[in-house]
Amino acid sequence: MPKQGFSTKAIHAGNIEFSPGSMITPLYQSVAYPYSDAKEAAAIFTGEKPGYTYGRWDNPTVDLFERRMAALEGTDGAIATSSGMAAIFLLSHHWLSPGDEVVSSNRVYGGTFGLFETGLKKMGTKVNWVTKPEDINAWKAAITPKTKFLFVETPSNPALFIADIPALAKLAKSKKLPLVVDNTICTPALQQPIALGADVTVHSTTKYVCGNGTSLGGIICGPKSLIDGIRQSCIRYLGPSMAPFNAWLNLLGLETLSLRMEKHCSNAMAVATFLEKHPRVKHVNYPGLKANPFHKMIKAQMKGCSSLLSFEIEGNYKDATKFIDSLKIITHATHLGTCRSIVTHPASTTHSAMGEKEMKKAGISPSMIRFSIGIEDEKDLLDDLAQAFKVAGKSGKRKK
């Protein structure tokens, strides 16, 4: 069989024969799978015979989603989880023992920051934050003999930091450490970290993979030994596995992922260009813009810049929220990666738990506004922005 392209794999990869056959993956909304006899039950449990045992760690619909994601990311295994945070926690729990350390960029989603700072500390482990993640020497300096893995989110939410994945992979290899990339924002349709030298990818499938905001989910894509290890231990004994219905919705999401990502990218570029020229905008973070400090890097590792972008509105916290409240089509919510465009105020919501000091270090200010640009008509989005700037007025001169 000739090598298939991404869009073909997104619809066909990893197919399992279901009986009776069905064009759409059947939804196995079941926790257990009856055995034909005791001999078969024992053989499935020891792994001598392929089969499913119990919903906390396996399910046919979830299995197909895992196979398809592994095919798209280029790994030989994947394990789907109940959320993106569960994926990051399970991976950390699997690899870390008390006393161990993680080296991570500080440009990460607020929940990841919170997990590393609280949950991991409770496990007796520690994170060494790299506060200048664009500098490979800063990563080098943060690694100690106790480091067990390197973690990077690229592009990062919401500051849009772009890591040099090949350079980080080279460093990780030289130190015999795995490099984990949170690939939520680009998805494998736009960025393939494994092909660039990373060892593992994690995702919040809640975002672009699902695509419409219906279901929470996550996935870890990596070597079979890692995936088997997590399936045999953490997920088996804890149960933060993906619900079959969510896996089913995610499989539908994958079928249109590459098409959606194209439209997300072109709409986001139009919005970023509009904002860059607007007199009330101080600064736009979008790597697709030529003036962006990461622009030159993107060609080597990304097919597109996805649709997350952030900008600084002239003024303060109040000016930012007034603008947000004036938008009509773009929905105010703490989410991203959906077909509908979403606006978020990170300082008061997703990243508020970080505290002002850490937010500042991570490049998040009170006047920062984050957009996840959807797949609506470009003109309608630009019109919505223009009217919101008008209604919100000039900074400090707002009408009540």
Ligand X SMILES: Cc1ncc(COP(=O)(O)O)c(C=O)c1O
184 contacts ligand X (rule: CB under 6 A):
yes
CB of 220 to ligand X, least distance (A): 12
> Closer to ligand X at the Cβ: 9 or 340?
340
111 contacts ligand X (rule: CB under 6 A):
yes
218 contacts ligand X (rule: CB under 6 A):
yes
CB of 250 to ligand X, least distance (A): 11
Residue in 56, 146, 148, 318 annotated catalytic: 56
Give the span between the Cα atoms of 92 and 86, in whole angstroms: 10
Give the span between the Cα atoms of 261 and 295, in whole angstroms: 18
8 A C-beta contact, residue 61 and residue 248: yes
Give residue 74's identity as a one-letter amino acid code: G
Residue 400 catalytic?
A: no
CB of 22 to ligand X, least distance (A): 28
CB of 358 to ligand X, least distance (A): 17
Give the span between the Cα atoms of 223 and 153, in whole angstroms: 19
CB of 67 to ligand X, least distance (A): 20
Exposure of 67 in the CB half-sphere (CA atoms within 13 A): 16
Residue 56 catalytic?
A: yes
> Closer to ligand X at the Cβ: 112 or 389?
112
> Scanning residues 121 to 180, which ones bind ligand X (CB under 6 A)?
153, 157
206 contacts ligand X (rule: CB under 6 A):
yes
Given its phi and psi angles, is residue 50 left (phi above 0), alpha (psi -120 to 50 degrees) or beta?
beta
104 contacts ligand X (rule: CB under 6 A):
no
DSSP E strand stretches across the chain: 77-81, 101-105, 126-130, 147-153, 179-182, 200-204, 218-222, 281-285, 308-313, 331-332, 342-344, 368-372
State the residue number with the nearest CB to ligand X: 84
Give residue 143's identity as a one-letter amino acid code: I
84 contacts ligand X (rule: CB under 6 A):
yes
Residue 317 catalytic?
A: no
Residue in 63, 182, 199, 384 annotated catalytic: 182
Give the span between the Cα atoms of 229 and 246, in whole angstroms: 23
344 contacts ligand X (rule: CB under 6 A):
no
Residue of 7, 126, 169, 164 lying closest to 72 (CA atoms): 7
Token pair for 326: 């004036």
- How many other CB atoms are found less than 10 A from the CB of residue 12? 12
Write the CB contacts of 154 (distance below 8 Å, at least 6 apart in sequence).
105, 161, 162, 163, 165, 181, 182, 183, 185, 186, 191
> Scanning residues 238 to 297, which ones bind ligand X (CB under 6 A)?
none
366 contacts ligand X (rule: CB under 6 A):
no
183 contacts ligand X (rule: CB under 6 A):
no
216 contacts ligand X (rule: CB under 6 A):
yes
73 contacts ligand X (rule: CB under 6 A):
no
83 contacts ligand X (rule: CB under 6 A):
yes
> Closer to ligand X at the Cβ: 157 or 319?
157
Residue 398 catalytic?
A: no
Catalytic residue numbers, as ranges: 56, 109, 182, 207
Residues that bind ligand X (CB under 6 A): 83-85, 109, 111-112, 153, 157, 182, 184-185, 204, 206, 216, 218
